[in-house]
Structure 1
Amino acid sequence: MRTQVAIVGAGPAGLLLGQLLHRAGIATVIVERQSAAHVLGRIRAGVLEQVTVDLMDECGVGTRMHAEGLVHQGIELLFQGARHRIDFPGLTGGRTVTVYGQTEVTRDLMAARAQAGLPTVYDAGDTVTLHGFDGSTPQVRYRHGGQEHVIDCDFIAGCDGYHGVSRASVPANAIHEFEKVYPSGWLGLLADVPPVCHELIYAHSERGFALCSMRSPSRSRYYVQVPPDSKVEQWSDDAFWAELRLRLDPQARERLVTGPALEKSIAPLRSFVAEPMRFGRLFLAGDAAHIVPPTGAKGLNLAASDVKYLASALAEHYGERSSAGLDHYSARALRRVWKAERFSWWFTMATHRFPGTSGFDHRIQESELDYLVHSKAASAALAENYVGLPL
């Protein structure tokens, strides 16, 4: 098989890149090790920056997002028993975010790719290997249906996540990895109950962090901070709801509606960056190159900005015979990545209670949050980063 760009990974990053390249007249093949049902079954974040919303529109897949997504004009910070609102439009010149689940983004992109008849290989398993990307004839090889397959291509886009084959295929001496592991995780519960608030609540309490989020007016997503060695099996639904209630303010507790979990999982908190993001004719994008703590909802949005940079660079290469965009892809993407890493690290440190911290540390946190909500400049900095820095 021959194509111009082979994309490894059929998550939102790979599918978004494939759709952008298709609209630019560039041929792609996507190879995914999991089944389509498995990809759609992954429960992930759901806060989209305007950049991501615009990319969905550019791909021609924004109709359902605009019909079902919830436009949010702020968030609420809860600390010392009181809530304080951060007004996004008032602090950023009118910008907002849209709550629309990553699963739904993936579903829309999958449907568009299938409707266009573009080739996607699912269930490739652990047989995917990358070859020749340090030269002029890169290949992606895999087994499917009991047969060996080879994709000859001009470029490979590694959009296969933190545990994927793309970054693992790079020689160790060619890559520099930065990592911070936080001593906590997020226990998340999804339930068909109305949200406790029409906007997200980020709660800092003596018992730890909590987040009240939603997927729709009738489906809520809640999180509580737990120790890193916690197991989902240790938490019944009743235990989760009881712990969440203890971390909320009286008004939120009164409005909290509980119900059976549709899904429960624990996400570790980690910051990770791999540099550079280009290795010859292999380009990394999304979680293959970087991970952020979920605080601040930057993961999917960073993947979208990577893909925008890469799609534009490839279109420039094929349309104008210029390598400038490809040559600058890594530096350009990393500049935005590190700003998002900084924001996610800062927001995590400001809102979580970590083991081993002192009374002094706790007072500093409370002072930081108090300053944050009473200083217009500090509130504007939070709002600007939350809604997304410009490309």
Structure 2
Amino acid sequence: MTVPAAQLDYLRQVAESGDVSAFLREAAKLKAPDLSDLLAELDPKFRLRIVQALPPELVSEALAEMEHDEHPEAVLAALNPEQAADILEELEPDDAADLIGELPPATASRILSYVADRADLERLLAYKEDTAGGLMTPEVVRVPVSATAAEAIDEIRRQADEMENFYQVYCVDDGGRLVGVLPLQRLVAAPPDRKVEELMEAPEAVAHPDLDQEEVARLMARYNVAALPVVDRDGKLLGRVTFDDVIDVVEAESTEDLLRFGGVPEEEEMGASWKEAVRSRLPWLFVNTLTAFAAAAVVYWFQDAINAAVVLAVFMPIVAGQGGNAGTQALAVTVRRLALGLIPRGQALEVVRKEVLVGMANGLAVGAAVGLVAAVAGGNAMLGVVVLLAMWGNLMVAGLIGSVVPLVMQRLGADPAVSSSMFVTPVTDACGFLLLLGLASWLLL
């Protein structure tokens, strides 16, 4: 929360008192991100009164800064259609499309009917939200490739007044197809009669409107560009995706992957109540409970061995736990490499081979240390050998499972991050128990 707690409390009191003029005086001092935090904190009824009194441009900036799980579209839906349309018209087209796209179709249609220039919004709404088309803004600065430097500068001045900011100038032919990018520094330094086609550069990268947002973020990071042009199949320039939108994408995707990695459904919002959290997490816990029975079955099968050598029970959680840790490490590395596109086609076996070798090396080192403790504490050298071999084998299996499972799940079209709690830990637990108790039955008993 960027607003100091004392100031937030004061502003809340002012809002709840109904003193709109006092609140407006304070709100004028806030930056858009701070105002968005405040609006998210207010009771919906009080928030509606404040939003109705604030200037549309101020409300639009605050709504654009609100997080998805704070439901800025609810603020829009609570207003009458004309007020909501005024706010939408103050937003960048891509931000406006994101907001209106979260509303029920009937509500969205009513609001759009009051938007003066809704053609851009309707075009953006035709694209899926998590694609380049859903992220892009149609507002771009474009100049004809046949123009001179002087004509291009005049055209840039004319178009720049109609948009908030721009990072690149795009060169298009008579059919509106993207043919190059014009660096501003080169344009300003060029003689007035120099042709744009002599100054422009080839685009570093382009995106089609149906490209997934993760791929868009990856392209922009790879080529280090502040904006990425979006073109259709014929090469016609449709718009651009800017870095601020990509930052939001990276944050959202990272949050989603982290939640899934922990077995928490992505539908659970950060501000969810404890009851909503229980409803979303409980099914996953039941699934994990079922898979955990595999490890329990191994223990049940070898209960005679445990009764004969109770000391084995001391090392069972150590062997299983270290296997789970190693499997999670391999899983995290593999999932991250998949997310970043760092596993070229045909290199999957090399990734698995590396993780298995890492597991073998780590298993030997950790197993030797724990085996030494077992031999000394148990007064039996063979017990140390059993623990060493079990640890070595389990960490090798952990490397195998932690790398193979996400690769297989991706090949099947499933989310690799989901495999963490569902497969890796139960498998390494069961394998650890099986190796330790099986070797003990063979070598000790």
Range into which the TM-score falls when normalised by the shorter chain: under 0.3
Greater helix share, 1 or 2?
2
Q: What TM-score do you get using the length of structure 1 for normalisation?
A: 0.22
Greater strand share, 1 or 2?
1
Who wins on radius of gyration, i.e. which is larger? 2
